[in-house]
Structures are given as structure tokens and as C-alpha cells.
Amino acid sequence: MIRAQFTLDSNQRITSFKMTGHADSGPYGQDIVCAAVSALSISTVNGLEQVVHTKPHLKQDNDNGGFLEVTGLDLGHDSQILLKTFLNGLCDIQESYPQNIEVKMFN
């Protein structure tokens, strides 16, 4: 199961997120939950860097996969739009595949 954890500040802005685990919803290369989550997370990080021009801090396991931690997020309006869109997308996936992804928010 993919576990996504978002940390929010007192103004409900996303300050960090971490994703761990594997969806295991299908064979390697055919796992649609993994593909969807990967596309959303990569697009979000790329958007923060290339569109909003911020530089979040990334920790990831490039060899084994299944781990991404993003901290040092910009609290500005544009960054938060991307991050909340990412969170909404993961929540939508969770609704359809609750056995493969769990999304939690912490204050």
C-alpha cells in the first residue's frame, strides 16, 4: 500500500509531504495506481521547480522506489494551488482504490 502523509500548518497550507510503499495493484509495469500516483507526484515536483520556480528539498529512494519526501515547500499561493491539486488527485485515487493507497493529513 502507498501511504501519503501531508503536513499542514495552522492556515491549512501544505508544508511537506511523504509517500512510502508500493500500490501492488498489478504486475510491475501494469500497476495503474502506481502509474497515477507517480505521474501526479512527478508533475507536482516539476511544477514547483519549473513553473513556480521554487526549490523544495527532496529525499527519494531512486534504487528501490517506494519513498519520496518533500520538505521546504513554498507557502505562496501558486505553490499551494499545485500542492492542493496534488492532494485532491491522491484523495480521488484513494476513493477508487482504498486497498492500494492511504492519504492522511496532519496539523
Q: Report which residue type is found at 26.
A: G
22 is catalytic: yes
| Identified catalytic residue from 34, 53, 57, 91 | 34
| Identified catalytic residue from 22, 53, 77, 91 | 22
Catalytic residues: 22, 34
